[in-house]
Chains A and B, each alone.
Chain A
């Protein structure tokens, strides 16, 4: 097994296009897979030496979060946490303090677990990711990446270099909630991310809701526009949100939760996360 530390994105793409090449960012998934011999790379490409891949920046266009930035560093970023509290909450739930010191958003997305905590929040927030490849760079919405457990749309030599989030408008808010059987150190039974913005008179202008751990991939709910846009949120609309969330569920049955339980919880968490996002929007 070779180890290389490319200093540019194009060099990294070239290295990653070799047969048996694996990208290394925080290593919290890759090293476990090495240890359990789930993967046997011919070359490990450490992408952390590429410019901007470990930086958080704010500009007029919005936020840039380098794909290999450790979660602990993102959580410590005050103005990002004020702009996108739901996204930051979601990624702060990944693993222990020790895991937070290394785990990254790029890794959480590319590991492509149905239960990944950061993905529903990023999708709800309308985040995009910048993908570096051998010949070109492309930008895709986060919901276009995961296709099945462990599978992504990334091609040969491609890797994620960073994430983009807009600067939220006034009266916007987001939230992420997950349910686990313990109070810490477990994998989501259900996760729900909500992002919304309000007009000056308190009507909903935009809303996105994404669910995790209830299907082979994260699900961005459709059909919310008719229920919410241009209206003040009321109990009837929230009940419709619960039904939509439940209908989107195609979960597995496992020791953490039955199909019935996950489906019920998806509705409950969507409703509660909506409530938190709404409150934040009213105070932002």
Chain B
């Protein structure tokens, strides 16, 4: 079976890869491009551990075919920090210990950044609804929500 050539922009860099039709964007990121920050939890779009931005939309990378992203722009967790400095959201999650095992964290961070780009002053309810598709198997939701609200306030005052 022939593979499809795909050219895409990931975290500002051009990537070209060959892709089988059945491979998801998550398979491509993790297995072809070695971008293993996006995690595979359920692989059926329920858990959000593979959350990435696809042309500025928050999506589950496990529900996108690799062949679909030709010509698209993708942002993953690997693109969140700048050089050696962590993004304010990442730093806040560390400061407030808003993570336990860490599997859900990349997805939660990507989803949080998407929320705060759209809504700089979300209520707790808005945060909880926005992140409802990011499951934390350690059930550490309270600290996650607090970290999001605090970093939102910090970013507004910055």
The residues of A with any CB-CB pair to B shorter than 8 Å are 1-3, 24, 26-28, 31-32, 34-36, 44, 46, 48, 70, 72, 95-99, 101-102, 184-185
**One of B65, B67, B130 near A97 (C-beta < 8 A):** B130
Given known contacts A27-B63, A98-B58, A98-B111, is B24 in contact with A185 (CB within 8 Å)?
Answer: no
**One of B22, B44, B67, B111 near A32 (C-beta < 8 A):** B44
Total count of chain B residues near the partner, CB < 8 A: 32
Given known contacts A2-B21, A44-B21, A185-B133, is B63 in contact with A96 (CB within 8 Å)?
Answer: no
Interface positions, chain B 102-126, Cβ under 8 Å from A, are: 111, 114-115
B67 engages A3 (CB within 8 Å): yes
**A59 to B131 alpha-carbon distance, docked (Å):** 36
**A102 to B63 alpha-carbon distance, docked (Å):** 9
Centre residue among A2, A32, A97, A98 by max chain B CB count within 10 A: A98
Centre residue among B44, B59, B65, B67 by max chain A CB count within 10 A: B59
Would you list 29 pairs from A and B whose C-beta atoms are within 8 A, ordered by A residue? Answer: A24-B65, A26-B63, A27-B68, A28-B45, A28-B63, A31-B45, A31-B64, A31-B65, A32-B45, A32-B63, A35-B43, A35-B44, A44-B65, A46-B67, A46-B68, A72-B57, A95-B45, A95-B133, A96-B132, A96-B134, A97-B115, A97-B130, A98-B51, A98-B63, A98-B133, A99-B63, A102-B63, A102-B64, A184-B129
B4 engages A70 (CB within 8 Å): no
A184 engages B132 (CB within 8 Å): yes
The residues of B with any CB-CB pair to A shorter than 8 Å are 1, 4, 21-22, 24, 43-46, 48, 51, 54, 57-60, 62-65, 67-68, 111, 114-115, 128-134
Given contacts A3-B65, A99-B60, 4 further A-B contacts (CB under 8 A): A32-B63, A97-B115, A98-B51, A102-B63
